[in-house]
A and B are shown apart, each in its own frame.
Chain A
């Protein structure tokens, strides 16, 4: 475990560097949008990583509700927090791309609105975890995350089933893409997935440490109270 984390960190750093080079140098410039299309190489992998982390949160929440396993609860919390970070990047890079291409920063398009709703659901999950001291908080949070995850398929399929301003997928839907663009995209997809796993792992370790400290402090105050009697 001690060796796996640094190895994954080095691999991720190399992949991210290679992905950046592919996105900015190797991938050709798109004809209609120009260089701004290169935002796609960070925007879509970030959305993928966010979706993956929210799905991990969903699975961990189910395991927690089923088994009341505190490690599953820690995984759920870590995945939700890191998922919110990636989802924030999606909501920041999207409007930066939209301004020169659409002429507006934001529109209440179905895909955009549902992504914002997903972000708000998981931000409320984190607020609940941060400020509620009730013993039932993990249970309420797990239920909230299960309902929140239902938004992910709605976000994904919204551009398939409804007419939206958000671009349609160019891969696997009859569209064509330059192989160098495809290569840059997949390198960044793998790099951002590794980064998501790595940060989630680090966040999980911090959470475990935090819980150990709380338990030790509780035990210490209990011993102090007994000693003063």
Chain B
């Protein structure tokens, strides 16, 4: 049973990690664009 949970947790950890990275990158790009527009 621990192998099953390990596989499912690993799957979601990879997805959540990647989505967090994507969200942070999106926010950073948005902030940079807003900064450029203000200038």
Enumerate chain A interface residues (CB-CB to B < 8 A).
Answer: 20, 35-36, 38-39, 42-43, 46, 85, 88-89, 92-93, 96-97, 99-100, 195, 199, 202-203, 205-206, 209-210, 212-213, 216-217, 220
- Total contacts A to B, CB within 8 angstroms? 67
Whether the pair B33, A85 counts as a contact (CB closer than 8 A) is no
* Contact call A35/B18, Cβ cutoff below 8 A: no
A35 touches B10 (CB 8 A): no
Cross-chain contact B32 with A42 (CB below 8 angstroms): no
Contacts of B15 in A (CB 8 A): 85, 89, 195, 199
B26 & A85 in contact (Cβ 8 Å cutoff): no
Q: Which residue of B lies closest to A84 (CB)?
A: B18
B11 to chain A: closest CB distance in Å? Answer: 5
Residue of B nearest to A23 (CB): B8
5 contacts between A and B (CB under 8 A): A46-B11, A85-B15, A88-B14, A89-B15, A97-B3
Where the two chains meet, the residues of B that have a C-beta atom closer than 8 Å to any C-beta of A are 1, 3-4, 6-8, 10-11, 14-15, 18-19, 22, 25-26, 29-30, 32-33, 36
Given the known inter-chain contacts A206-B22, A217-B36, please indicate yes or no for A96 contacting B10, CB distance below 8 A.
yes
Q: Which residues of B contact A43 (CB under 8 A)?
A: 7
Residues of A contacting B33 in the complex (Cβ-Cβ under 8 angstroms): 209, 212-213, 216
> With A and B bound together, what is the CA distance between A43 and B10 in angstroms?
11
* Chain B neighbourhood of A213, CB < 8 A: 29, 32-33, 36
In the docked arrangement, what's the CA distance between A99 and B10, Å? 15
Q: Given contacts A85-B14, A85-B15, A217-B36, is CB(A206)–CB(B7) below 8 Å?
A: no
Q: Which residues of B contact A96 (CB under 8 A)?
A: 3, 6-7, 10
A94 closest partner in B (C-beta): B7
Q: Who on chain A is nearest to B9 by CB?
A: A96
Given A209-B33, A217-B36: A199 and B10 interface contact (C-beta under 8 Å): no
- Once the chains bind, are A39 and B30 in contact (CB under 8 Å)? no
